[in-house]
Amino acid sequence: MRITQQMLSSNITSQLQQNLSRYEKANEQVSTGKRINTPSDDPIGVQKSLKLASQLADNEQYERNTDYALSWMETTDQALNSISNALQRANELGLQASNGTNSPEDQQTIAKEIEQLRAEIQDIANTKFDGKYIFNGQKTDQPIQIAEDGNLMYNNQPLMQRMSSSNSIEMNVTGEVFDGQVNLFKTLDQLSGALASGDQEGVSSALEQIETGKEQVLNSWTTLGAKQSRVEGMNQRLKEENLSLQTLVSKNDDVDFAEAIMKLKTEESVYQASLAASAKIIQPSLLDFLR
């Protein structure tokens, strides 16, 4: 083949161009740390990348949901604990009052204390978390209405938190814990009334009621505990899934740095070599050697 100077220079230009563009691509991968910078870098990979990012977003959402549910349940747990303690105290006071060694004045004092306990439970019934009344079902903007006679008005619809696309949990305990088999307020009223009037039979029947009330609270509490551990398990699983999703995203999107840097170095030396070779080849012509 006949070689001309024009061929040399056009060849050199196009090859330098190609080397430089490969060098640039390698540099882009190293400097962004991403294997896929435009969809055409890997059309299948880019779809996978979008899908994984979306799954990751879902997962983080569910993780936030379970975190929220856990805090909510923690508050409920404390409230139920206080109710349980109050009922226990009422029970003790009732037993103390019914042993027949108390003066009417003492009975009165005990009755007063029972009334205090009733007020305490009433306060607990309107516990707030994140600005919401936790025992009033879906009407979290309103407190439970407790009448003088102990009758309750509350909403018992569930508050659902989603833990996955197909799995949700009812995180709230409704007013039923105060007004289920027995009405706690009415029972306490009955106890304090019986104490004040010295009605021993009334006291013992109220004490039986309190026993049932304690069980009523305990049942809710146990269910809540079981739910809590379910949500905690879910939360843990979501965190683990998050980690493995992030690993997948990284595998799909990120460059292998060692490889990318090797490639960059190779492209760099190829480019420099081609520059050096071009500089040598372009110079001499027959002219340099004539006369």
The site for other proteins (CB under 8 A) is made up of 1-7, 10-11, 14, 34, 36, 38-44, 46-47, 49-51, 53-54, 57-58, 60-61, 64-65, 68, 130, 132, 137-141, 155, 157, 159-162, 165, 253, 285-287, 290
Contacts of 235 by beta carbon, 8 Å cutoff, 6+ apart: 63, 66, 67, 70
Kindly state the smallest distance separating residue 265's Cβ from other proteins, in Å. Answer: 23
Kindly state the smallest distance separating residue 277's Cβ from other proteins, in Å. Answer: 17
Rank residues 56 and 270 by Cβ distance to other proteins and give the closer one: 56
Rank residues 11 and 96 by Cβ distance to other proteins and give the closer one: 11
Kindly state the smallest distance separating residue 19's Cβ from other proteins, in Å. Answer: 14
Kindly state the smallest distance separating residue 62's Cβ from other proteins, in Å. Answer: 8
Rank residues 17 and 78 by Cβ distance to other proteins and give the closer one: 17
How many C-alpha atoms does 125 have within 13 Å on its Cβ side? 26
Kindly state the smallest distance separating residue 172's Cβ from other proteins, in Å. Answer: 9
Kindly state the smallest distance separating residue 209's Cβ from other proteins, in Å. Answer: 31
Cα angle 50, 53, 59 (rounded to 5 degrees) comes to 145
Q: How far is CA 215 from CA 150, 204, 206, in A?
A: 19, 17, 14
Rank residues 28 and 42 by Cβ distance to other proteins and give the closer one: 42
Cβ atoms of 37 and 25 within 8 Å: the answer is no
Which residues are bridge partners to 171 per DSSP?
none
Kindly state the smallest distance separating residue 38's Cβ from other proteins, in Å. Answer: 5
Cβ atoms of 126 and 75 within 8 Å: the answer is no
Scored b (16 or more CB within 10 A) or e, 9-22 reads: eeebeeeeeebeeb
Q: How far is CA 18 from CA 6, 11, 38, in A?
A: 18, 11, 19
Rank residues 92 and 130 by Cβ distance to other proteins and give the closer one: 130
Rank residues 9 and 96 by Cβ distance to other proteins and give the closer one: 9
- C-alpha–C-alpha distance, residues 117 and 92, integer Å: 12
How many C-alpha atoms does 85 have within 13 Å on its Cβ side? 8
Rank residues 47 and 85 by Cβ distance to other proteins and give the closer one: 47
Which tokens go with 11? 């060849």
